[in-house]
């Protein structure tokens, strides 16, 4: 059986670090942020919708979407954020689930071949029985179809510091971005596993490895 693990966390919670580590360990990860960026490129499904609904002012001279400018708008205007979420949700959801289904088919065929040639599951085969879906708004947008949900969490103070440093934002602007998402405390109620990324990379990595051991 192939398990689908939903991976989520608040802004600047350390989720990208965990994703990079999972990929380095040979696991497949469907990254929602990367998928969205692809869809927002010229010719992508979201590109034209954003152009029509938000106007040319959010595109640069090369006709590329100015994500920073659009982000400033949606994190300061609730109506604009709701409008963008409604606009993007259906397209993004369909694309993510399509990629999941394609990967499930690919891995199922691979496992069938391996099972015909091996009497025991190899380490590689274990890695081929798990798909991670990295979705920042997994809970807010009510995504489903997961065997488990893993939450990457961090203390509120560290989260605020990371957002300010990473995005070069004022404290007020950083707080607005954090407030736009469900709180990590609330997200913990829905998580099967919580990985605390407040410490060092090695400490976070150890928690991920422990969580992976439960899948073997």
Distances 186 to 2, 15, 30, 176, 190 between C-alpha atoms, Å: 28, 17, 24, 17, 8
8 Å CB contact between 204 and 174: no
Per-residue buried b or exposed e for 182-215, using 16+ beta carbons within 10 Å of the residue's own CB: bebeebeeebebbbebeeeeeebbebbeebbeee
Distances 31 to 18, 77, 95, 119 between C-alpha atoms, Å: 12, 26, 11, 33
Mapping DSSP to helix (H, G, I), strand (E, B) and coil, where does residue 82 land? Answer: helix
Which residues are known binding-site members for ATP?
A: 12-17
Which residues are known binding-site members?
A: 12-17
* Dist CA 151 CA 132 (whole Å): 12
- Token pair for residue 92? 């993004």
The CB-side HSE value for 111 (13 A sphere, CA atoms) comes to 17
* Dist CA 35 CA 97 (whole Å): 11
* Dist CA 138 CA 149 (whole Å): 9
């Amino acid at each position: 059986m192939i398990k689908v693990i939903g991976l989520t966390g608040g802004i600047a919670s350390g989720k990208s670090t965990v994703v990079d580590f999972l990929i380095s360990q040979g696991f497949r990860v469907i990254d929602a942020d990367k998928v969205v960026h692809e869809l927002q490129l010229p010719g992508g499904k979201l590109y034209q919708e954003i152009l029509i609904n938000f106007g040319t002012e959010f595109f640069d001279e090369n006709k590329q979407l100015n994500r920073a400018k659009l982000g400033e708008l949606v994190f300061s205007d609730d109506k604009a954020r709701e409008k963008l979420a409604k606009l993007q949700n259906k397209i993004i959801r369909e694309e993510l689930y399509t990629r999941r289904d394609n990967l499930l088919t690919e891995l199922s065929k691979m496992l069938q071949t391996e099972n015909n040639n091996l009497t025991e599951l190899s380490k590689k085969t274990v890695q081929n029985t798990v798909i991670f879906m990295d979705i920042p708004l997994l809970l807010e947008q009510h995504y489903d179809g997961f065997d488990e949900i893993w939450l990457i969490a961090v203390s509120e103070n560290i989260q605020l510091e990371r957002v300010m440093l990473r995005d070069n934002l004022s404290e007020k602007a950083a707080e607005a971005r954090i407030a736009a998402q469900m709180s990590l405390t609330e997200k913990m109620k829905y998580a099967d596993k919580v990985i605390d990324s407040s410490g060092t990379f090695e400490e976070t990595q150890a928690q991920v490895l422990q969580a992976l051991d439960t899948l073997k």
